[in-house]
Amino acid sequence: MLEARQASPESPSTVAKAVDKSSGLRHADLTNSLSYDPDTGIFRWISPTARSNARPGDVAGGLSRCGYLRIKLFGHTYKAHRLAFFYMTGRWPSEQIDHINLCRTDNRWSNLREATVGQNQANRPTRNRLGIKGVHFEHRNTNRPWVAIHHSSDKSYKYVGSFATPEEAHVAYSKIAGELYGEFAKV
C-alpha cells in the first residue's frame, strides 16, 4: 500500500518525475488548480482553467467510455487515478495504477496502488461463463475435464493441470496466481 502523505515536489527524490513529460504538468500547477480529498477520491476545482465552465468548489472531471474518471487540465486530459497518485506523492507512477476493489471510479487513496502491467492484469475479474478464474472445461478429456491455465501479461500461458472438478482446478490456479502476484492476485 502506498504511504498516505504528500511529498514535496522539490525534494531530491521527486524532482526527476515531478513533471509529466508529455504535457509539462508540474505538481505545483496541479495542486494550485485542483484539491484532492484522499478519503473520498474526489477532485474539486480551486481555480478552473480558462476554457472551463466550472467554478471553484465544483467536482472536476467526467466519465470516459472505458469507465475511468478523466480531468482536462491545461489542454491535456488525465485519468483521475493517475492525478491522485501524482497529487499525493509528487511523482508520476512508473507504470500503472491499480484500483484494488476493481471499481474504476473509486479513486480514494486507500484504493489505489502502483502496479506493473502484470500485477494490474492479475487483479482483473474472471470473464468466463463459469465465473471461476483460470479454469475452463475441456470436453476431450473425459476423466479430468477441468483444466487450470495461468495467462501472463505477455500473452503466454502456463498449463497448471487437469482436474476432476472445477473446484480442484481453481485451487491449483489460485496457488500459482498467489505465488506469482501475491496481494495482486484476484482469484
Q: CATH number of the domain that 169 lies in?
A: 3.30.730
Tell me: do 107 and 50 sit in the same domain.
yes
Please report whether residue 90 resides in a domain.
yes
Tell me: do 78 and 93 sit in the same domain.
yes
pLDDT per residue over 49-63, tens digit each? 766 688 899 999 999
Nearest CA to 36 out of 74, 3, 71, 76 is that of 71
Query: Are the CB atoms for 184 and 122 separated by under 8 Å?
Result: yes
Distance of alpha carbon 139 from the chain centroid: 36
* Predicted local confidence at residue 183, as pLDDT: 66
Final residue in a domain of this structure, among 82, 115, 148: 115
Please report whether residue 73 resides in a domain.
yes
The residue that leads in pLDDT, 43 or 7, is 43
Tell me: do 88 and 128 sit in the same domain.
no
- 84-112 burial, b for 16+ CB within 10 Å, e for fewer? bbbbbbbbbbeebbbbbeeebebbbbebb
- Domain span including residue 131: 120-184
Query: Are the CB atoms for 29 and 47 separated by under 8 Å?
Result: no
Cell of 178: 498467489
Nearest CA to 146 out of 130, 164, 129, 133 is that of 164
Ranges of beta strands (E only) in 88-143 are 96-99, 112-115, 135-137
* Predicted local confidence at residue 135, as pLDDT: 76
DSSP assignment letter at 8 = P
Tell me: do 126 and 49 sit in the same domain.
no
Tell me: do 75 and 48 sit in the same domain.
yes
Tell me: do 110 and 135 sit in the same domain.
no
Tell me: do 32 and 111 sit in the same domain.
yes
Tell me: do 52 and 124 sit in the same domain.
no
Q: Of 25-29, 87-91, 152-156, where does mean pLDDT reach its minimum?
A: 152-156
Domain count within the chain? 2
pLDDT per residue over 90-141, tens digit each? 999 998 999 988 899 999 999 999 988 877 776 676 667 777 777 777 777 7
Query: Are the CB atoms for 38 and 106 separated by under 8 Å?
Result: no
Please report whether residue 57 resides in a domain.
yes
User: C-alpha distances in angstroms, 138 versus 101, 161, 169?
Assistant: 31, 11, 12
Instruction: Say which CATH number the domain at 56 has.
Output: 3.90.75.20
| Helical (H) or strand (E) element with 85 | helix 80-89
Question: In the predicted model, what is the mean pLDDT of the chain?
Answer: 79
